[in-house]
Structure formats: C-alpha cells, structure tokens
Structure 1
C-alpha cells in the first residue's frame, strides 16, 4: 500500500522541474517483507557483467570458478570500465523469473503484480503527468563490495522506457559506503541520492547517471528493486 503521508503534489512539481525525484516512505507496509525476501539465503541471484551477448550466470556458478578465473573476469570488467560502459552487480528479473517458474520469495512476485495493478499505474501517471505509462518491469538488485554501474542514460527507444526507478531496501545506509545514485552533467555530479529504505528514486529517461562503487567496508549489500515505467511490456512480459 502507498503511504498516506505522501505529498504527491509537491513530488510531482519537483519531478516536473528537475526530471528526478527522491520520495521517502513510498510504502505504508511491506518494506520489511521485501527486505527479508532479498536477504533470504535461498534467493536466486544472477551475476550481471556487461557483455556483447547480454548473458548472465547464476552467482553460485560464477563463484564455483577458480579464484584466479574470477579475478581475471573482474579485471577485464574493470579494464572496460576505465573508458567505457560497464557494470558489475547481482540481479534477478522478476518477470523473467515468473515466466521460468522459479521459486523465489513470494513477496517479490507480489510486488511485481502490484506495480502493474491499475491502482499503482494510476499513481505513476498522476505523479509524472504521463498517461503513456502502461507497464512496470522490475528486477531485484544486490550490490556487494566492489560492485558498480558506470554512467549511462537508460535510453532504449524500442523498450518504451519513460522513467527509471529505484526502490531502496537497505536500512541505515551510509553515504561513505558508496552505492550512490549520481546524476551527471559532463564531468560534474549535479545531484546525488543516498539509498534509504523504502525510498523511491525516480527520474526521467534519458538522463546521465551512475551508481558509485560499493566500498569494501560497507556494512551490508545495497539492495533495491529497480526498473522502468514503460509504454509497453517487454516481449513475453519478462521484465
């Protein structure tokens, strides 16, 4: 359920003025269940590294490789990140997981269904003033120490992405732990959003942004549900 205390008029004005918004306390209930879901030891995570084949491998498979091979792959990732687009983090696409019949915590499937309910879609359209929003895809994400996401804009014309969102799930996150959502103009960081549990970060696509590397001394992984408010579902609804 959406929180009763949201000032949607002020939030809509802020989003319209800047193209981005940090909205604390989005959910009235359910945040605890989502945090329990993403921290469940049985949760299935895929290791995501940018590659030409757009493929991912289960974290268990990646970590079963010899340490030297893991280090080689991460070194290649870092080499590509120096001058280009690259990322390293764990995720699970919820629409794809449902289509494959994967057994994951039910709270994640419930969230994906709620995001695509008429009530939530009406909220999204009212907040943005954009009646084209017809689908919300979602992926659970986990950033461990050393994980990052280089600058990019999220632009993907064929995917119908209108707004990108991050629903933060890590409690008591500290800015010095990294994992910051940074908005960029050239080489300048023009605004930064620190993760806060239950906080929705929302921004219009395209917009240059990055997630800073999570520090080795971070007190926990950076957990979130992320995705896009879109004009159409992905093929097969597997977002």
Structure 2
C-alpha cells in the first residue's frame, strides 16, 4: 500500500507552533488507512528484538533466535542488572526492530508497510513537510526504527545526542520524530514521553501514547520514556527516528543546489 499524509494538515500553523517551544505534537498525521496498516504490521508481522543497555549504556540486541537460546533465568538476571544500574545511570529495556537494516538485508519485503513507511518518511513529501515546520532547509533524510514498550519497559533520561553510527556517515541528528500507533491508551499505564527543562528539574511536560500522532522535537532535548506499568493491558507501539543533515546528500527533488554548482 502507499503511505499518505493527512491532506488536511495546516502547515503554516504547525510551523508557528513549533517555533514556540521547538516541540510539537501532530494528531492524525497520516491517512486513516495508512495508520491502520502500519499498526497491523507492528502487531502481527514484526520480528521484535530485545534491546537493553550494558554497564556503559551501550546497546545489546537479542533477536528471536538468540532469545530462544537464552533461558528465562538469564533474562531475569539481566533484567535485574539493568534495573539496578537504572537507579543512577542511563539505562533502557524495550523491544526494537531495525527497519533500515532489515530492509537492506532483505528481512522486510518491498510490499511490507514497514518498507513503505521508510520510503515515505524519506520522500520529498515528508522531508519537505519537516523542512517547512522546523525552518531547517538542509534536512535530507530520516533513519526510522520501530519500538514496542511492554509492561516493565522503559528508557531513562537522555538527550538523543548519543549517535552510534558508521564513522563514514557524516550526517547529524537535528530533530527527533516519534509516530505513535497505540489505540485507547490509559494514562494509568505510564509509557509517556516526558520532557525536562534541565537536570534535576521540578517540572516536566508529558506526552502520552496515542494513535497516528507524531511528536517532533529538536535535538538535544532532555526527555525519557517512562516505564510502562506492570499492570498495563498492552504495549506501546511507535516508529521513531532522527531527521538529519548530511553534506554527502543533495535532495534535487526538493530543489537543492547540486554540490558542484555551489
């Protein structure tokens, strides 16, 4: 299927709202059919991996095969270690699916909604919208991945500046994008993104999971994903990524000037 934007977005107002706090929530970002197809794919067609942090906050990923080879006792012990470290350092534990990696290695077919949404998020339509809203005319790409926070999953305070990538990649994270695909979420279940004005703050702003809703914010911004309550009835689905500059990429489809002409 073809992923489509909601045709009724008011770009001028969205840009004005974003400039006030460098943060914005856009409800009904996609067409209804697009959002439903993506949710179905996330729930029923996605081979989720377990992603968690080591002692130095670096990531460890376990795919389905690795999880099958890991005992419940080992998982519980690792989980307890992450929780213990989380009292005083940046730690996380949630489900993850590397969309770009899966597409390049053939794990995701061309007809999959995850392939379609990856192409859409890198299309002139979406990148052009992001440029208009942020006022940042050099954005050229986004690297989406899928997340699932189930009961007990969390991600501690961070600012998105950490960037584990190939040294040859010269791109820079400018804005974070999170598109929620969770219906009928209760605020009692936690799992909200919480934004903070600084370290050890006394106030915060919360954005709870929703359906077909995009959250956009400037990098760096201090935030965390609060733990999903153990009694939550379901998980929190989203597709996230970072809008980037990249001096090695020219978007002719967005009217950029070719490098040799500059």
TM-score by length of 2: 0.83
Matching residue within 116, 127, 136 for 1:110: 116
> CA distance change for structure 1 residues 233 and 178 in 2, over 3 Å: closer, same or farther?
farther
User: Which residue in the other structure is 2:230 paired with?
Assistant: 216
Unaligned runs of 5+ in 1: 235-239
User: Which residue in the other structure is 2:39 paired with?
Assistant: 35
Q: Does 1:192 align with 2:195?
A: no
Moved beyond 6 Å, runs of 4+: none
Matching residue within 65, 68, 71 for 1:66: 71
**1:1-239 mapped onto 2 (5 Å cutoff):** 1-28=4-31, 29-40=33-44, 42-51=45-54, 52=56, 54-59=59-64, 61-62=66-67, 64-103=69-108, 106-156=112-162, 159-185=171-197, 186-232=200-246
Find the aligned partners of 1:12 and 1:101 in 2 and give their Cα distance.
37
User: Which residue in the other structure is 2:258 paired with?
Assistant: none
Q: Which range moves more in the overlay, 45-54 or 216-225? A: 45-54
Tell me if the contact between 2:108 and 2:115 (Cα under 8 Å) persists in the aligned partners: no
What number of residue pairs does the alignment pair up?
A: 233
> Alignment partner of 2:211: what SS?
coil
> Alignment partner of 1:173: what SS?
coil
Q: Which range moves more in the overlay, 11-20 or 162-171? A: 11-20
Unaligned runs of 5+ in 2: 164-169, 249-262
Find the aligned partners of 1:166 and 1:189 in 2 and give their Cα distance.
22
Q: Which range moves more in the overlay, 19-28 or 153-162? A: 153-162
How many Å apart are 1:205 and its aligned residue?
A: 0.3
Find the aligned partners of 1:160 and 1:125 in 2 and give their Cα distance.
15
How many Å apart are 1:60 and its aligned residue?
A: 5.2
Find the aligned partners of 2:61 and 2:196 in 1 and give their Cα distance.
28
Tell me if the contact between 1:139 and 1:227 (Cα under 8 Å) persists in the aligned partners: yes
Largest Rg, 1 or 2:
2
Tell me if the contact between 2:46 and 2:97 (Cα under 8 Å) persists in the aligned partners: no
Find the aligned partners of 1:162 and 1:30 in 2 and give their Cα distance.
26
Deviations 1:72-107 (A, max 9, x none): 100110111110001101111111111111146700
How many Å apart are 1:68 and its aligned residue?
A: 1.7
Find the aligned partners of 1:189 and 1:68 in 2 and give their Cα distance.
39
Tell me if the contact between 2:140 and 2:243 (Cα under 8 Å) persists in the aligned partners: yes
Tell me if the contact between 1:136 and 1:233 (Cα under 8 Å) persists in the aligned partners: no
Find the aligned partners of 2:81 and 2:12 in 1 and give their Cα distance.
46
Find the aligned partners of 2:89 and 2:247 in 1 and give their Cα distance.
29
Find the aligned partners of 2:178 and 2:93 in 1 and give their Cα distance.
17
Tell me if the contact between 1:135 and 1:233 (Cα under 8 Å) persists in the aligned partners: no
> CA distance change for structure 1 residues 201 and 55 in 2, over 3 Å: closer, same or farther?
same
